[in-house]
Amino acid sequence: MLLTEYQRPAALRRIGRSRLETWLKNRKVRNSRAVATAAVEAAQAQHTVVPSERIAAVMTAKLAKEVMALDQEIAETDALIEDRFGEHKHAEVIASMPGIGTLLGAEFIAHTGGDMTAFTSPDRLAGVAGLAPVPKDSGRISGNLRRPRRYNRRLLRVFYLSAQIAAQHCPTSKAFYARKKAEGKTHKQAVLALARRRLNVLWALIRDNRTFELTPPQSGSAAA
């Protein structure tokens, strides 16, 4: 926002901190006081006139406005995605999983249709998502596992990113992640293990048409 009007040090020195703060507040810029103070202080320390400064200022303003327009377009697209996601019959169930918001939920539906019967089992879904390792045995060596060569990387992204978020904010997932780290797993291995666990949970939730609960029912259903 600041770069759309005040690109040059001289302009910032003229307006001053107080008026710049008001200008930013009127445009709903967060931390307007801190931004105004930092900008004016930097301008007061800069008195060297750079060649072609005026041309550079015009270009900067143009680029800043283009970035703002792109941000607005992205926000509008996200809103459309959220609205469409909310129309799906399993939207509430999927979004109830810690770490899966409307955007990741929409991506999950886009790559699965939200219909788990198409995969016959959670193991099948895990294979499609690259979360079910396959044997990599050779000669006398056995027991080695690797990720399959063909899998849906976007679907893996949904489970991996949501697992990372849940490992920080969901008590059950945080405990599972910590347990895997204590077993000697790397961060990536622990997150993948958590993602696989959470895939089973999401499968069960969609199958039973129920939302996630930190304390699951006593029916033996898995917890995230």
Give the three-state DSSP class for 146: strand
Domain membership of residue 159 (yes or no) is yes
The verdict on 113 and 158 lying in the same domain is yes
The total number of structural domains in the chain stands at: 2
Q: What is the pLDDT of residue 186?
A: 93
Longest pairwise C-alpha distance within the chain: 78
- The tens place of each residue's pLDDT in the chain, 224 residues long, gives 665 676 677 787 788 888 888 878 887 877 888 888 888 888 788 777 667 777 776 776 777 677 778 878 888 888 888 888 889 999 999 999 999 989 999 999 999 987 888 888 999 999 899 998 654 545 554 444 556 668 889 999 999 999 999 999 999 999 999 999 999 999 999 999 999 999 999 999 999 999 998 765 555 445 55
The verdict on 46 and 137 lying in the same domain is no
φ, ψ dihedrals at 149, nearest 5° = -70, -30
Cα(195)–Cα(206) distance, integer angstroms: 16
The verdict on 43 and 105 lying in the same domain is no
Domain membership of residue 188 (yes or no) is yes
Q: What is the pLDDT of residue 107?
A: 93
Task: List 141's β-bridge partners, or say none.
Answer: 138
Domain membership of residue 214 (yes or no) is no
Domain membership of residue 25 (yes or no) is yes
- At 179, list the tokens: 């347990």
Domain of residue 65: give its range.
2-86
- At 123, list the tokens: 């193991």
Task: List 145's β-bridge partners, or say none.
Answer: 135
CA dihedral 11, 14, 20, 23 (to 10 degrees): -80
Domain membership of residue 222 (yes or no) is no
The verdict on 71 and 161 lying in the same domain is no
